[in-house]
Structure 1
C-alpha cells in the first residue's frame, strides 16, 4: 500500500491508542482471526478486498455516499482534504455530517488520516457504489473546461461516453489501435481519443477519464443524511412484560404437545429432507396453530435439540433425551432455551410453505430454509427495538424495515423487508416482543444472555397457583399457571379443553380411567378435587369417579405371556365368550383365569374397546401403568453447539492489542546475531545455538528478539529482556510495559540479539 503522500494505514494504526485498536477489532472481527502478529498484519487484512467489502456492508446510506464521494475524489490513489469530498456530495450537505461519516469509517479502519489528508485502501473502489467507479483522471484534462467540452460533442460521441459512464469506465474496441489526429479520425471512439476525452490503455482497451465520468454522472441530487423517523407507541412496561409472559407460557405448552405427539407417532423425514406437508398439518391441528406458527414451532424445537433426525434406515423426527431434561425444568428456563435457540437459528422459518424457483414447496426442517446470515439480521431488528425505551414499540413493520434499509442498504438481499416482518412476528410468538415493544426478558436475552433472561422471565410470569375451580359441567378451570405437581395431577385426571391465561380441563370417563390406570384410587381423586378446588365438588363428578372406579380393575391382567384374572367367574366366562377372545387368543386355565400369548398392553386395549374395563397389575398385585413413555434418541452433539460466532471479548481484545504492540517493537528493533530452529526439525525445535544465545543475553542483560508459534500455529514476534531460563521456560521482562512474560522454549522458532541504537 504505497501512498503518494501522507501516512500509510500501518503508520496510522500504530499511532492509535490501545482502545482504538480494540474498537477496530471489535467492529471488524474478521481482522482478529487468526491473531494479527503486529499492526502491519492488521493493516494488510483491513485493506484486503474481502474485508473491505464486508465492512462496507455495514455502512449506512449516508456513510456510503461519503465513501463514494471519497472515491470520486480519488482518495484511494492519494490523500484528499475533506472539503474536496464535500464537493462530491449533494449541494447543502453539512460538512459536519460528512466529518461524522468519515469518523465512522476511521473507527472501522476503512479510512484514515486527518481531515486535510483522508485516504482509502485501493480495495475500497470495488466496495463503493456505481457512482464511485470512475476511471483514472487524465493529466491532459486537469485545466480543461470538461463540462463545456462534453456539451459540444455530437450525439454519437456523447452516446459512447454515456455508455461508459453508466457502468465500468473501461471498454474494449478495435478503434484504439492508434490515436489519430482529429481530422483523420473517422469513428466516435477515434475522435474521442483525439480530443483527450478517452484514454487509450492498449491496442484494444480505452478508459473513461475520471473528470469526464464525474461530469456525465453529476452529483446526486440528494441523499438522506439521517435515518427515517420511526413511528412508535408507548405502553406500560409491566403490560408488555405480562403479555410476553403469556406468549411464553403458550409457546412452552405447544412445544410440550409437540414432544408428546412425536414421542408416540414420529413423522418420517422426507427423502429430500425436512417435514412433510401432511405431518405439518397434523402438528397445526393438534396444537391449534396456523401452519406458519407450526413451522416456527418445529424449527425452534429442532434448533433447541428437543427433536432430531434419528438417521435410521427409515429416518424419522424423534424427540431426544434432552427433551426430558427440558420438560423437567421450570417454565422460565424452558422459555429461555427456546428463545436462545431461535435467536441463534441459522434458518428462516418464514420460508416454510413458500415455493422455490422450480415451484416446489419449501419444507420445514429442510436445507432450503438454511440462511447463515439469519441470526445477524434478527439481532439487527431487535437492536432497533432495544434502542427504544422500555414499553415503547413500533406501530408499523414497514417503517422499521425502512430504518434498517437506511442503516445497512447492502444487507439482507431480496428478502430484507420480509425478514423484518418475519422477525417481529416470530419474536412476538416467542415472547421476546409484545405489543410491538421489546419485552423485559427479551431485552435481557439480547444484552446479557439466556440465564439472566430466564430469571427476568420468572419475575414476569404470574405466580403459580395451588388451586382450581371445579364447575358443574365437569370442567376444571385453572385461573393461572398451576404449581408443577398440581399441574401434573390435573393433566393426569383431565384433558385440556382450552388454554390461555386460564386453562380449562374436562373430566371424562376416559380421563378418570387414565388416572386409575396410573395407580390412583377413587379416594385419591376425591381428595385431589376436595382439597384443591375453591368451589364445591358437584355430585355428578363424585358419581362419575365412583362409577368408573367400581368397574375399574375388577378384571386384572398380567404377563404369562399375558393373563387375565377375576374373582367373579361369571365375568371371566363373559370375556371368554366374547368375539374379542378369539382375536386375542384367550384361553381359560381356571374358572377365574384366562391366558394369552399376546402382549398384555394389546389385550387391555382391545378389551377396553369391547366395553370392558381391565387394569394391569404388577408382581405384587398392585395396579401399574403400562402406557408407553415415548421414543427417545441420543441428542446429537452438533445440535447443542452455538451456530453464531461471537465477537472477541474484552480480555481477548486486550491480549491481541498487547501482542500487536510487542510485534511492532520486535519489527522495529535492530537485530544482530540471529539463530533459528534447524531446517526440517519442526517449528518447536530448540537448537543448542538458540539456547546458548538466550543464556548469553540473560547474562549480559541484553534484550532479545523472539520468534514464537502458539498452540494454534500462529506466528508472532516480541522483544523481551531475559531474566532466567529453566524448566523449559524462558522468563523475561517486556521492556515497554515492564510485565514479566513466561515463554515455553519449545515454542521459540528463532532468536536474535537486539542491538542498541547508539
Structure 2
C-alpha cells in the first residue's frame, strides 16, 4: 500500500528534501513550518504547473501516462505505465523519468507502485494521450478484441477517424440507429456526449492503437546539425566584438551626455531618438536598442528626476569608463545575461497594436534571464569551437528538453539570444566563446576577466602616423594613450585597427584641454612607429601659434592679449559686436557675457582664443556631458536560488516542526492551565519517569510559544531540560508556563 505524500516525504533523508527544495524553490518561500505544509504546497496547482515546466518530453509522457492510468486517484504499477508508453520508451528512460518526477515530489511511492499529485491532471491536455474517458460495458470487457475484429468496414472507418485523436467527433447521423455511428453507440464502442457528439472510450482507443497506446513518443533528444571552427578563430572574433561593444557604449555615453534624449510620456525612448542613436553608434536600430538596454541594465544610463525627464549617463558611467576593457565588458555581459527584458521586441507592436519602444516597460519579462541562459547553456554543452548551423536546430533541441516552456516567443528567444550574444562577444560564429563559457559557469568576476584578457589582442603603445593627417592604431591602445588620441584626433573608423584623423578643431580641442603644442608634438613623436609627417607638424604649429594669443577670464569675463593690434582687430570686427566687449587697458577688454559665450563668438569670427584660470594656466571649458544619479542594480523578479546552507536550515526547521507536532499530538494539548501546583507536579513526574513534556509558555516579549522538553531538574522556580527538537538545554521560569502535558511514549 502506497503511503500518503507527507509520510513518503518523512521517510526521505535530508539530502533528498534539500534537493526537492532546490528543484522547486517556490516550496521554500516562506520556509514551511513542517513536512505537512511542504506536502500541501507540493500539490498546489500553480506550483505543479511551474515544476512541470522543467520536464522534458519523456518525463511529460510518463506523467501523462500516469494520468491515463488514474495514478492521481490510486497507486498504479510501473508495469502498467510502461505498457501505456509502448516500445518507444525503453526501461532506462522510464526509470530516469520516474526518478525525475520523484525528485520533484510530483510522483511518489515504491519502485513497483506509484502515486501522482492530483493537480497533475490539470497540467496534461484535456484528453491525456489523446484518449477519451474510461467506459464500462463492452469497452471494459475481455471480449473487446473480438468485438473490434468483427466490425464492418464502415464502422472501422469511424473508429479509425477518432483513434488518432482527439477522441471527440461530431456526426449528424449519430441519432440514426441504423448508421455506423448509431450501431457503434449501441455496441458500447462509442459514448454519446450530446445529440451530435460522440466520444471514443479510452479502452477502445488503447486497443486500436496496438503496441503504442500513447502514440509515438520521441524518447531521445534531437541532435542539432553543427560545424566546427578553430577555437582561436571563435575567441578572436569574440574579442573583436567585445571591443566594438565597448566603443559603442562609450559613444552612447558621449552622445547622451551632450544631447540627452527626452523620456516619452508613457516611458521609454522615442523612435526618432532610437534612429539617431543607431546613426551615432554606426549600427541598425535593433543593435542600438540592445546596446541602450544593456547600458541601462548596467546603470550607465538612466532617466533624471527633472520635470521634463531625459535619458542621460549616470555618474556610474564615469567610474565604468575608467576601468580596463576586461572589467568593462564583464559588467556589460553580466547585465545582459541577467536582463529581465527582451530587447528583441523593440520595433514590434504590442497586443493593443502600439509600437514597442526601447527602455519601455512593455519589454519587461521576468523569465527572460532563465530562457536566455537555457539557450546559451545548450550551446555551451557542445565542444568548444562547435557551432550550430542555425537557430532552428537549437530551438528544436530546447523544445524537446522543455516542451512547456517559452510560449509563442520560444523560437524567437533562441534567435534573439544568439544574435544578441554575438553582439556582446558571448557567442561568435554561432559557438560559445571562452569568455562566454566563463560567464555562464560562475558569478565570480575574476575568471571572466581572465578569459577575456586571454582572447583580446595585446594592447599596443604605438601608432602609425600617415601623410594624410591620420594615425592608425594596429590594435587596442593602452587606455591612457587611447584617451590622449581621442582628445587630439577624431575616430574615423574602428575595428581591428582604429583610424584617427587630425584636424584643426581636434588639435585645438587638445590645446583647450591644457596640452601645449609642444606636448602634442612630443607625444606623437614618441609614440609613432613612423616619422611625424611634415603636414601634421605644420598643422600643430599653426594651431598652437594662433591658440591662446587671446586670453579670456571671468569678469563676468575678460579678454587679454600681449598683441595690442590683435585686440584692436577683435574689437573692430563686426561679428564681435554682440559680445559686448570694451577695452579697459591697451591689452585688456572685458565683457558682460559668460566666458564660454565670448570664446565661442571669437572662434566663430575666425579667432583662436584660449581660456585661462587665475594663475594664467590654460583652462579646459570643453563640454563635460550631462550626468544623473545612478539608479542601482535592477531587481530580478525571479524565485530565489537558495544556497546549500539555507536549504539545510529549512529542512532542519521542517524536521523540528514535525517533531513538535508529533509531541503535541502525544501530549493531547490540555485546553487550559491547571495551576502552578499541577505544573510543578507534572514536571516532577517527568523528571522521575524520564519523560518529555509539552509546554506552552509566554516568552520575555509576551509572545505565546511552545516547546517539548525532557526535564532534568526542577527547583527554585526554574525548570531546566533538553529540547526534544534541537537538543539544546533551556532554563524556563515556572511562572511563565501557561499549559503543560506529558508526552505519550
Normalising to structure 1: TM-score of the pair? 0.85
**Aligned residue number for residue 491 of structure 2:** 496
Judge conservation of contact 2:552–2:595 (CA < 8 Å) in 1.
yes
**Contact 1:496–1:505 (8 Å) recurs in 2:** yes
Whole-Å Cα distance in 1 between the matches of residues 325 and 39 of structure 2? 49
Distance 1:539 1:724 in 2: 101
For residues 158-557 of structure 1, the aligned pairs below 5 Å read 198=191, 210-211=202-203, 219-452=213-446, 453-557=448-552
Report the CA distance between 1:677 and its aligned residue. Answer: 11
Alpha-carbon distance change, 17 to 354 in structure 1, aligned in 2, over 3 angstroms: same
Q: Secondary structure at the match of 2:227?
A: strand
Counterpart among 639, 655, 659 of residue 661 in structure 1: 655
Aligned pairs for 1:70-219 within 5 A: 70-132=66-128, 137-138=134-135, 140=137, 142-143=140-141, 145-146=143-144, 198=191, 210-211=202-203, 219=213
Deviations along 1:533-577, whole A, 9 cap, x unmatched? 222212222211111100000011111112211122222222222
In structure 1, which of residues 40, 46, 52 is the aligned counterpart of residue 42 of structure 2?
46
**In structure 2, distance between residues paired with 1:705 and 1:444:** 54
- Evaluate the alpha carbon distance shift between residue 508 and residue 200 of structure 1 in structure 2; reply closer, same or farther with a 3 A threshold: closer
Distance 1:465 1:358, change over 3 A: same
3-state secondary structure, aligned to 1:118: strand
* Pair 1:623 & 2:611 matched: no
Helix, strand or coil for the counterpart of 1:464?
A: coil
The whole-number CA distance in structure 1 between the counterparts of 2:679 and 2:316 is 53
Partner of 2:584: 589
Residue-by-residue CA offset, 1:410-461 (whole Å, 9 max, x unaligned): 1111111111011011111112112222222222222211513234323433
Separation in 1 of the partners of 2:406 and 2:435? 26
Structure 1 residues 467 and 33: CA distance shift in structure 2, 3 A: same
CA deviations 1:189-208 (Å, max 9, x no partner) are 9995995964999xxx9998
| Aligned residue-pair number | 725
CA distance in 1: counterparts of 2:732 and 2:499, whole angstroms: 68
**Unaligned stretches of 5+ residues in structure 1:** 176-181, 679-686
1:612 alignment counterpart: 607
How far has the Cα of 1:658 moved from its partner? 1.6
Q: 1:611 to 1:42 in 2, by over 3 A?
A: same
Determine if contact 2:460/2:476 at 8 Å carries over to the other structure: yes
User: 1:62 deviation in Å?
Assistant: 1.9
Give the direction of change, closer, same or farther, for the CA distance of 1:566–1:300 in structure 2 (3 Å limit).
same
Moved more, 546-555 or 574-583: 574-583
Label 1:266 to 1:245 Cα distance change in 2 as closer, same or farther (>3 A).
same
CA shift digits 1:65-86 (9 cap, x unpaired): 1211111111111111122112
| Contact kept? 2:162, 2:200, Cα under 8 Å | no
8 Å contact 2:556–2:594 — kept in the other structure?
Answer: yes
Closer, same or farther: CA 579–156 of 1 in aligned 2, 3 Å: farther
Q: Work out the CA distance in 1 between the residues paired with 2:325 and 2:681.
A: 64
For residues 161 and 473 of structure 1, do their structure 2 counterparts lie closer, same or farther at Cα, with a shift above 3 Å needed? closer
Q: CA deviation at 1:224?
A: 0.7
Q: Which of 150-159 and 518-527 deviates more? A: 150-159
Contact 2:470 2:502 in 1 (8 A): yes
Shift of 1:326: 1.3
In the alignment, does 2:548 pair up with 1:560?
Answer: no
Decide whether aligned partners of structure 1 residues 170 and 648 sit closer, same or farther in structure 2, where only a CA change above 3 A counts: farther
Q: Aligned equivalents of 1:675 and 1:631: distance in 2?
A: 71
Task: Kindly state the Cα deviation for residue 368 of structure 1 after the two structures are TM-superposed.
Answer: 1.8
> Match of 1:119, SS?
strand
Question: Using the alignment, how far apart are the partners of 2:705 and 2:76 within structure 1?
Answer: 35
**Shift in CA distance, 200/466, structure 1 to aligned 2, threshold 3 Å:** closer
Give the Å deviation of 1:357: 4.5
Compute the RMSD of aligned alpha carbons: 4.2
**Structure 2 contact 387–430 (Cα < 8 Å) conserved:** yes
Cα pair 1:165 1:208 within 8 Å, conserved: no
TM-score normalised by length of structure 2: 0.86
Q: CA deviation at 1:31?
A: 1.0
**Higher mean displacement: 687-696 or 234-243:** 687-696
Aligned-residue offset at 1:591: 3.1
* C-alpha distance in 2 between matches for 1:751 and 1:283: 72
Structure 2: how far apart are the matches of 1:223 and 1:507?
Answer: 68
